[in-house]
C-alpha cells in the first residue's frame, strides 16, 4: 500500500527540505512549479487513469533532482529536439538499476520546455515486485504491453522504451556502450501509431554500477530476470546499491519518422530498428570520444 | 438520481487545481453523434420500442429493481427470481421460480418477451458450488436456448469485468478483445467466464438476435450486495503489503442506465462498462470508511483460506490476485456506441456505501 514506504519516503524528503531549507526547499518549489505546468487528467483523488499520482511523483523527483544535480551532474544536449505531442524516446539501457530512465525523466521535467512527464514501459515482472510496482505506476510508468504503449501515445504522451531490455540493463562492465540486440516492438508501435522516434544516448550510466557477473539462475530463484554482481553488490548489502558518482551526459537526437506496415516481416522491421540503433551508437561514440573523464 | 450533474470523465484537471477540493461540475457534453464506425455494434433491427415487453431475470435483486423502475410505464415488465419482492409495483408480473425449473421455459413461451435482461447469477460462495454452477451456467444456457426458440429480439446479459482476471501483465485498459483469464487465477468464479463464453458463442451463432454482453467494472451502491461491496463495507479491510492496485468503480444506478441504454439503442456485441474512473484500493477503502489492514501475502493466503473454509470470511484466497494486480477496463467502445456517461462521480460512488 502507498502508506508505509511512500509516506516514509515523503516524510523523509519533507524532513530533508526542512533541514536544508535553502537548497532543498528551492528545489522542491522549482519541481512543483514545473509539474504544475503539465496538463494532466486527474480525478478528484489526484490520480490519473494509469495510476500516476503527481504528489508522489513530486517526492520522488526531489530525490531524483538531488541525484541529477549533485551526484550525476547531468548534462543534456539537444533536449529541445523532443517534439510536442506523442513521441517515443528510445535509449540505451545499462547500470543494473533503471537510473538512466529516472535521469531522462528528470531532465524532461527540469530542462525541457515545456516540461513533460515521461511514461516508462516497465518489464513484465516489475508489477509482481512489492513496492516497486507502486513506485512504477505512481510515477507515471506502466507495464510495457503494446496496448499500454498505444493508449499512451494516442493520448499524446511521451513514452520511453529501452529496446535492449534487461539484456542491456545487466550488461557487464567490459560490454559497456556495446548496444545489445534491440527488440522490435517499439518500431511496430511507432509505425502503427505514426509516432516520431527520438533516439537518446546516455553516457555515464554504463559505468555507474560496473557488473562483473550475472547469476541468472539465482535471479530466477527470486523470480527476477537477472541477478547482477557488481564491485559493490551484493558485498556491501544495501549500500552496494549506491551508484558510482559518474558524470551523466544525455544526448537527444533529431526526431526520426518511419513509415511502413507495422505487421511487416521481422527483416523489414529490423532494418528500421537498426537505423535507430545506429543513430544511438553514433551519439554514444561522439559522447565517449569527447568526454574528459568518466567522473567529470 | 436526476438531480445529479452529468459526470464527464474526459474533463481536464490541471494539476494546479487544489487536490482536496472537488472540481466544479461541468456542463453536460453534447451527445456524440453516432458515427458510422459504431454501427458495427448496433443491430439493424433497432432498439426497444415503447410498449414492448421485457423479461428481467433476477428482478428482485437491487439491479433488477432499479431496472424495473426505469422501464415500467414505457415497457411491459415481467420478471423471474428465486426470491420474492414484497410490495413490487402492481403492473410488474413476478414469477417466483428458479432458472433451473421447467416452468421457466413455459414463461418465455407464453409471455413472449421482446427483450430479456439476464442478471440471475449466484455471486456469493455461501451455498453449494454445484448449485452455483447450475444456476449460473446451465441457467444461462437454457435461457439462450429458449430465447432463440421463442423469437426474443434482444438479450442483455450482465457479465462482469472480473472475467479478464487480475494479472501482473494486464494493460491499464483491457479492451473487449483481451482474453478471459479469470479461470486461471481465480477458479472459484470461473463460472462467470463460462457464462461469458456461452453468450459470446450465442452472439455469433444468432445474428438475428441483438445480443449484448456487458462487462461492468466493480459495482457499488446502497442496495448492491456484490462481492466487492461486501469486501469494502467491512470495518477492517485486508490489503497485501507492497501492493495497491488501481480499481475502477461504478454506481449501481449507472449500471442500470447502461442496461437501458443498450436496450434502447439496440446494441449488439461485447462492451466493457466503465464508471467515473479509478483509484488505488487504499483510497477506496478509506473513502468507504474502512481501515486498511496490510497483510503479508503468505499470511493473507493462509488466513483467507482458513477463515473462508470455516465460513467466517466471504472471500476465498484466490481473490488475493485482485488485491495485487489491476483489472481495469477500456470502456471506449460502449461510450462511442451509445454515448453512455456515468452520472455518479467517484466520490458519490463511495459515499453510497460509506459507513455512517
- The model's pLDDT over B266-320, given as tens digits with 9 standing for 90+, comes to 999 999 999 999 999 999 999 999 999 999 999 999 999 999 888 888 888 889 9
Whether residues B244 and A124 touch (CB distance < 8 A) is answered with no
- Provide CB contacts within 8 A for B252, sequence distance 6+: B62, B63, B66, B219, B220, B221, B222, B223, B224, B352
Q: Cα–Cα distances in Å, from B167 out to B138, B163, B328, B354? A: 28, 11, 11, 29
Of A35, A41, A148, the CB nearest to B172: A148
Average pLDDT over residues A221-239: 82
| End-to-end Cα spacing for chain A | 40
Q: What angle do CA B188, B192, B193 make, to 5 degrees?
A: 100
Whether residues B242 and A47 touch (CB distance < 8 A) is answered with no
pLDDT of residue A149: 95
**B171 touches A at CB < 8 Å:** yes
Helix axes A23-35, A54-66, angle to 10 degrees: 130
Of A4, A131, A145, the CB nearest to B171: A145
Residues in chain B: 356
Q: Cα–Cα distances in Å, from B118 out to B52, B60, B135, B144, B175? A: 17, 12, 12, 10, 22
Whether residues B277 and A49 touch (CB distance < 8 A) is answered with yes
Determine which of A43, A116, A185 to mutate to test the interface with B (most B C-beta atoms within 10 Å).
Answer: A43
Residues of B in contact with A134 (CB under 8 A): 242-244
Of B15, B170, B174, the CB nearest to A40: B15
- The answer for B 236-255 residues in CB contact with A (under 8 A) is 239-244, 246
Q: Chain B: give the shortest CA distance to residue A114, in Å.
A: 14
Average pLDDT over residues A176-189: 93
Average pLDDT over residues B102-113: 93
Confidence of residue A20 (pLDDT cuts 50, 70, 90): low
Long-range contacts of B315-321 (CB under 8 A, 24+ apart): B315/B227, B315/B230, B315/B231, B316/B125, B316/B188, B318/B185, B318/B186, B318/B187, B318/B188, B319/B186, B319/B188, B319/B227, B320/B240, B321/B165, B321/B166, B321/B167, B321/B185, B321/B186
Whether residues B246 and A55 touch (CB distance < 8 A) is answered with no
Determine which of B7, B217, B244, B282 to mutate to test the interface with A (most A C-beta atoms within 10 Å).
Answer: B244
Name the catalytic one among B75, B119, B164, B186: B186
Average pLDDT over residues A97-115: 94
The model's pLDDT over A253-286, given as tens digits with 9 standing for 90+, comes to 999 999 999 999 999 999 999 999 999 999 999 9
Residues of B in contact with A49 (CB under 8 A): 172-173, 246, 277-278, 328
* pLDDT at B2 > cutoff 50: no
Among all residues of chain A, which has the CA nearest to that of B329? A49
Whether residues B170 and A143 touch (CB distance < 8 A) is answered with yes
Residues of B in contact with A38 (CB under 8 A): 15
Of A41, A45, A51, the CB nearest to B346: A45
Q: Chain A: give the shortest CA distance to residue B178, in Å.
A: 10
**Residue B162: active-site member:** no
Q: Chain B: give the shortest CA distance to residue A147, in Å.
A: 6
Determine which of B164, B169, B250 to mutate to test the interface with A (most A C-beta atoms within 10 Å).
Answer: B169
Return d(Cα B309, Cα B296) in angstroms, integer: 20
Whether residues B16 and A145 touch (CB distance < 8 A) is answered with no
Return d(Cα A49, Cα B221) in angstroms, integer: 22
pLDDT of residue A17: 63
Nearest to B200 by CA among B171, B217, B180: B180
* pLDDT at A21 > cutoff 70: no
Phi and psi at B174, nearest 5°, equal -75, 125
Among all residues of chain A, which has the CA nearest to that of B281? A1
Residues of A in contact with B328 (CB under 8 A): 49
Phi and psi at A168, nearest 5°, equal -80, -45
Average pLDDT over residues A113-137: 93
* pLDDT at B22 > cutoff 50: no
Nearest to B92 by CA among B112, B131, B65: B65
As a whole number, the mean pLDDT across chain B is: 87
* pLDDT at B19 > cutoff 60: no
Q: What angle do CA B184, B186, B188 make, to 5 degrees?
A: 120
Whether residues B246 and A47 touch (CB distance < 8 A) is answered with yes
Q: Chain A: give the shortest CA distance to residue B59, in Å.
A: 34
pLDDT of residue B34: 44
Residues of A in contact with B281 (CB under 8 A): 1
* pLDDT at B189 > cutoff 80: yes
Average pLDDT over residues B53-75: 94
| Higher pLDDT among residues B216 and B191, named by residue | B216
Helix or strand or coil: residue B115?
A: strand
Chain A to chain B, count of Cβ pairs less than 8 Å apart?
119
* pLDDT at B38 > cutoff 80: no
Return d(Cα A265, Cα A245) in angstroms, integer: 43
* pLDDT at A214 > cutoff 70: yes
Phi and psi at B237, nearest 5°, equal -120, 125
**B278 touches A at CB < 8 Å:** yes
Q: Which helix (H) or strand (E) holds B239?
A: strand B236-240
Whether residues B169 and A44 touch (CB distance < 8 A) is answered with no
The model's pLDDT over B215-252, given as tens digits with 9 standing for 90+, comes to 999 999 998 888 899 899 999 999 999 999 999 999 99
| End-to-end Cα spacing for chain B | 20
Residues of B in contact with A137 (CB under 8 A): 246
Whether residues A43 and B242 touch (CB distance < 8 A) is answered with no
pTM of the model: 0.87
The strand pairing partners of A214, in sequence order, are: A228
CB B54 within 8 A of CB B118: no
pLDDT of residue B25: 43
Residues from A contacting B (CB-CB < 8 Å) are: 1-5, 35-36, 38-47, 49-51, 54-55, 124-125, 127-131, 133-134, 137, 142-143, 145-148, 151
Whether residues A43 and B346 touch (CB distance < 8 A) is answered with yes
The model's pLDDT over A25-75, given as tens digits with 9 standing for 90+, comes to 889 999 999 999 988 888 999 999 999 999 999 999 999 999 999 999 999
Q: What angle do CA A291, A294, A296 make, to 5 degrees?
A: 70
* pLDDT at B332 > cutoff 90: yes
Instruction: State chain B's maximal CA–CA distance in angstroms.
Output: 62
Q: How many helices (H) and strands (E) does chain B have?
A: 13, 12
The strand pairing partners of B118, in sequence order, are: B57, B157
Whether residues A44 and B22 touch (CB distance < 8 A) is answered with yes
Residues of A in contact with B173 (CB under 8 A): 49, 147-148, 151
Confidence of residue B196 (pLDDT cuts 50, 70, 90): very high
Q: What angle do CA B162, A133, A186 make, to 5 degrees?
A: 90
* H-type alpha helices, chain B: 62-71, 103-111, 129-133, 139-149, 182-185, 190-205, 227-233, 252-265, 281-287, 297-309, 321-324, 332-338, 346-351
Whether residues B282 and A1 touch (CB distance < 8 A) is answered with yes
Residues of B in contact with A47 (CB under 8 A): 246, 277-280, 283
The model's pLDDT over B133-179, given as tens digits with 9 standing for 90+, comes to 888 999 999 999 999 999 999 999 999 999 999 999 999 999 999 99
Residues in chain A: 296
Amino acid at each position: 500500500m502507498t502508506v508505509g514506504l511512500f509516506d516514509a519516503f515523503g516524510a523523509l524528503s519533507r524532513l530533508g527540505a526542512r533541514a536544508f531549507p535553502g537548497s532543498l526547499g528551492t528545489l522542491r518549489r522549482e519541481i512543483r512549479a514545473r509539474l504544475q505546468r503539465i496538463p494532466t487528467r486527474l480525478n478528484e483523488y489526484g490520480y490519473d487513469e494509469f495510476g500516476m499520482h503527481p504528489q508522489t511523483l513530486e517526492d520522488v523527483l526531489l530525490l531524483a533532482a538531488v541525484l541529477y544535480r549533485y551526484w550525476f551532474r547531468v548534462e543534456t544536449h539537444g533536449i529541445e529536439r523532443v517534439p510536442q505531442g506523442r513521441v517515443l524516446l528510445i535509449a540505451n539501457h545499462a547500470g543494473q538499476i533503471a537510473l538512466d530512465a529516472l535521469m531522462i525523466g528528470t531532465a524532461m521535467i527540469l530542462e525541457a520546455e515545456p516540461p513533460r512527464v515521461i511514461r516508462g514501459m516497465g518489464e513484465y515482472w516489475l508489477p509482481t515486485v512489492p513496492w516497486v510496482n507502486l513506485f512504477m505506476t505512481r510515477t507515471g510508468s506502466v507495464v510495457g504491453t503494446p496496448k499500454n504503449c498505444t493508449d499512451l501515445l494516442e493520448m499524446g504522451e511521451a513514452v520511453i522504451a529501452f529496446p535492449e531490455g534487461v539484456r542491456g540493463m545487466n550488461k557487464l562492465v567490459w560490454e559497456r556502450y556495446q548496444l545489445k540486440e534491440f527488440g522490435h516492438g517499439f518500431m511496430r508501435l511507432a509505425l502503427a501509431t505514426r509516432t516520431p522516434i527520438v533516439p537518446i544516448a546516455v553516457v555515464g550510466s554504463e559505468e555507474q554500477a560496473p557488473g562483473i557477473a550475472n547469476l541468472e539462475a539465482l535471479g530466477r530463484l527470486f523470480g527476477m530476470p537477472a541477478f547482477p554482481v557488481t564491485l559493490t553488490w551484493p558485498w556491501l548489502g544495501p549500500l552496494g546499491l549506491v551508484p558510482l558518482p559518474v558524470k551523466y551526459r544525455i544526448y537527444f537526437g533529431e526526431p526520426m519518422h518511419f513509415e511502413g506496415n507495422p505487421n511487416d516481416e521481422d527483416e523489414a522491421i529490423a532494418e528500421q530498428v537498426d537505423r535507430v540503433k545506429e543513430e544511438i551508437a553514433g551519439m554514444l561514440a561522439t559522447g565517449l570520444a569527447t568526454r574528459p573523464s568518466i567522473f567529470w | 438520481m436526476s438531480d445529479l450533474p452529468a459526470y464527464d470523465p474526459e474533463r481536464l484537471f490541471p494539476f494546479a487545481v487544489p487536490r482536496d477540493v472537488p472540481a466544479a461540475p461541468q456542463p453536460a457534453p453534447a451527445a456524440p453523434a453516432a458515427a458510422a464506425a459504431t454501427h458495427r455494434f448496433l443491430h439493424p433491427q433497432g432498439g426497444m420500442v415503447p410498449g414492448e415487453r421485457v423479461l428481467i431475470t433476477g428482478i428482485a435483486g437491487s439491479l433488477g429493481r432499479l431496472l424495473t423502475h426505469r422501464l415500467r410505464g414505457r415497457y411491459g415488465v415481467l420478471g423471474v427470481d428465486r426470491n420474492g419482492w414484497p410490495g413490487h409495483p402492481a403492473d410488474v408480473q413476478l414469477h417466483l421460480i428458479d432458472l433451473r425449473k421447467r416452468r421457466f421455459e413455459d414463461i418465455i413461451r407464453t409471455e413472449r418477451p421482446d427483450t430479456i435482461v439476464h442478471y440471475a447469477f449466484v455471486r456469493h460462495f455461501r451455498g453449494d458450488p454445484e448449485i452455483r454452477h447450475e444456476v449460473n451456467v446451465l441457467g444461462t444456457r437454457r435461457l439462450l436456448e429458449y430465447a432463440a426458440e421463442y423469437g426474443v429480439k434482444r438479450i442483455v446479459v450482465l457479465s462482469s469485468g472480473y472475467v479478464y482476471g487480475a494479472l501482473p501483465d494486464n494493460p491499464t485498459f483491457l479492451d473487449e478483445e483481451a482474453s478471459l483469464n479469470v479461470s486461471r487465477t481465480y477458479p472459484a468464479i470461473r463460472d462467470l467466464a463460462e457464462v461469458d463464453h456461452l453468450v459470446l458463442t450465442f452472439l455469433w451463432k444468432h445474428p438475428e438476435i441483438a445480443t449484448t454482453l456487458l462487462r461492468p467494472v466493480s459495482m457499488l451502491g446502497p442496495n448492491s450486495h456484490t462481492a466487492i461491496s461486501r469486501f469494502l463495507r467491512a470495518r477492517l479491510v485486508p490489503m497485501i503489503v507492497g501492493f495497491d492496485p488501481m480499481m475502477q468503480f461504478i454506481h449501481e444506478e449507472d449500471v442500470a442506465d447502461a442496461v437501458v441504454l443498450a436496450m434502447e439503442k439496440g446494441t449488439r456485441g461485447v462492451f466493457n462498462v466503465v464508471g467515473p474512473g479509478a483509484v488505488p484500493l487504499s483510497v477506496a477503502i478509506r473513502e468507504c470508511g474502512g481501515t486498511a489492514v496490510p497483510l503479508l501475502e503468505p499470511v493473507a493466503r493462509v488466513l483467507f483460506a482458513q477463515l473462508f473454509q470455516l465460513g467466517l470470511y466471504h472471500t476465498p484466497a484466490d481473490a488475493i490476485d485482485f488485491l495485487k494486480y489491476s483489472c481495469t477496463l477500456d470502456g471506449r467502445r460502449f461510450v462511442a456506441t451509445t454515448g453512455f456517461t456515468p452520472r455518479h462521480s467517484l466520490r458519490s460512488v463511495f459515499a453510497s456505501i460509506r459507513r455512517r
